[in-house]
Amino acid sequence: MNQSGDEYKYWDRFKATYDDDNLFLVGDITHQAASEWLQARLGPDDSVLELACGTGHYTEVAAKVVKEIIATDLAEGLLETARERFAGIPNIKIQTENCYGTSFADGQFDVVVMANLLHLIREPATALEEAGRVLKPSGRILVLDYTSHGLERDEKKAMMRRYFSRWGEIPTYSFAATPENLTALCEKAGFTVNDAVLLGEGCKVACVEAVKGRINT
């Protein structure tokens, strides 16, 4: 595997503590805001692919309202936690997949969810292209990325301190997500953005909903 595709190794080191670390970094308010944003955009007819599910926080959120979700990741340690967490839940399937190129057929899904993926990988455009490939015509992507964008200077410093204390150095290829830079990435990959917002307190979350294809409004 070349360097693009090995980013999961950074996260798999934290398999024992990921959920706790993540909540410590992000906080309840932002977790809740992101979860509500996501759930409000999903429905009972949706067949969903999640790229980079990690331990499955957003898998659980989505599964409550969708027909079915296949949650995928490359980090076997995190996937193990997800498998245990969702054992026996009929509408959740956990599968090992690389977000840069999956085993799914063209046009298979209504929605692709990408939570905290695009700002943490070397080639977000390739992951978006793959999402576009596996989506039905007019299928949607739901993208959300935690970010320090929009915080006051002191809040930003505090967020960085929380990050370093649990996870150490931030990957050099990561970037601070904003509704604007995520919108630009999605549009470049051939999507039409219909919602782009910044939510949360203490740690922000940039959220973008976009439809496959270029739609003239």
The contact set with ligand SAM (CB under 6 A) reads: 5, 7-8, 11, 22, 52-54, 57-58, 73-75, 78, 98-100, 115-117, 120-121
The minimum distance between CB 210 and ligand SAM, in angstroms, equals 18
**Judged by CB, which is closer to ligand SAM: 99, or 112?**
99
The minimum distance between CB 24 and ligand SAM, in angstroms, equals 13
**Judged by CB, which is closer to ligand SAM: 160, or 192?**
160
The minimum distance between CB 139 and ligand SAM, in angstroms, equals 19
Q: Got the DSSP string for 20-48?
A: HHHHHHH-HHHHHHHHHHHHTT--TT-EE
User: Of 62, 73, 63, which is closest to residue 38 (Cα–Cα)?
Assistant: 62
Contacts of 182 (CB under 8 A, 6+ apart): 118, 143, 145, 196, 206, 208
Q: Give the other-Cβ count within 10 Å of 7's Cβ.
A: 21
**Judged by CB, which is closer to ligand SAM: 8, or 109?**
8
**Judged by CB, which is closer to ligand SAM: 83, or 192?**
83
Q: What totals of helices (H) and strands (E) does the chain contain, helices first?
A: 8, 7
**Judged by CB, which is closer to ligand SAM: 192, or 202?**
202
The minimum distance between CB 214 and ligand SAM, in angstroms, equals 26
The whole-angstrom separation of Cα 29 and Cα 79 is: 25
Q: Give the residue closest to ligand SAM by C-beta.
A: 54
In which residue are the tokens 């929009």 written?
Answer: 150
